[in-house]
Amino acid sequence: MKKHLLPFVDYQRIFQVVYSVLQASEIAITHRACVFFTAAGTLILRDHYHLPATISAGCMALMVHEEKTNVLVYGRKEDGNFVFDRDAFHAWVECDGWLIDFMAPIMGIALREDGVDWNIPRKMLQKPLLEGRGSLKEVQRQGDFYVEHDAMLANSLLDDQSSHANDLLKICLAWYRRPPKTLGSIGMGNSHGPTKILSARAPSIDGIW
């Protein structure tokens, strides 16, 4: 099996484009926009790479610090178990047997906002789905992950996307260029002010899970 479905530079470029568009919108909360990151990443993979990417949503767990046994879980604890619903979930891309989370480099921001003081590095998350653990209890080593996808939840979340979000998705798709091509410039207009010229401004990614 290949090391990664997407080269690191391509993953980083997709992250940069989606992050920069969200930041420029001044409406979205970038570090809580997992559905948008996933939708944008899926569209880019389909259009620019001709890959059969799909959107998944549900529960995700990732070991982010093995020594401290810190496991990041997207979901909600209920009666001793973790469950997920529209108020507690995560979204990610699945493509050709791979899990790709384009929001992973900024996952620590929302945690700190919620009062969890973990120092989570900015890393790419791209792993073969076959490497996923069978349960949350099996997530024991650095980079171990568990996912549980719910198609009905994913469809419901996509149905709720606003027209503004759909406009931003079109901008991501139009602006994106596969490395080593440069991004160039693109304008983003709205009814509240002058057109903005977008530039790629996103935190650097420091490694790989």
138-181 pLDDT, tens digit per residue, is 999 999 999 999 999 999 999 888 888 999 999 999 999 999 99
Please report, for the chain, the start and end positions of each structural domain, with discontinuous segments joined by +.
8-208
What is the mean pLDDT of the segment spanning 18-41? Answer: 93
Structure tokens at 27: 């409406």
Most trustworthy range by pLDDT among 34-48, 63-77, 146-160? 34-48
3-state secondary structure of 161: coil
CA pair distance 38, 55, nearest whole angstrom: 6
What is the mean pLDDT of the segment spanning 97-114? Answer: 94
Question: Tell me, what's the pLDDT at 93?
Answer: 98
Tell me if 203 sits within 8 A of 106, measured CB to CB: yes
Question: Tell me, what's the pLDDT at 191?
Answer: 60
Question: Tell me, what's the pLDDT at 37?
Answer: 97
Question: Tell me, what's the pLDDT at 193?
Answer: 67
Question: Tell me, what's the pLDDT at 12?
Answer: 97
Range list of β-strands (E), 96-182: 98-101, 123-128, 145-149
Question: Tell me, what's the pLDDT at 26?
Answer: 79
Domain 8-208 has CATH 3.40.50.970: no
Question: Tell me, what's the pLDDT at 159?
Answer: 87
| The model's pTM | 0.93
Share of the chain above pLDDT 90, in %: 73
What is the mean pLDDT of the segment spanning 88-98? Answer: 96
Structure tokens at 79: 């009666």
* Residue 188: pLDDT over 90: no
What burial class does residue 128 get, using C-beta atoms within 10 Å of its C-beta: 0-12 exposed, 13-18 middle, 19+ buried? middle
Helices 163-175, 34-49: inter-axial angle, 10-degree rounding: 40
* Residue 75: pLDDT over 90: no
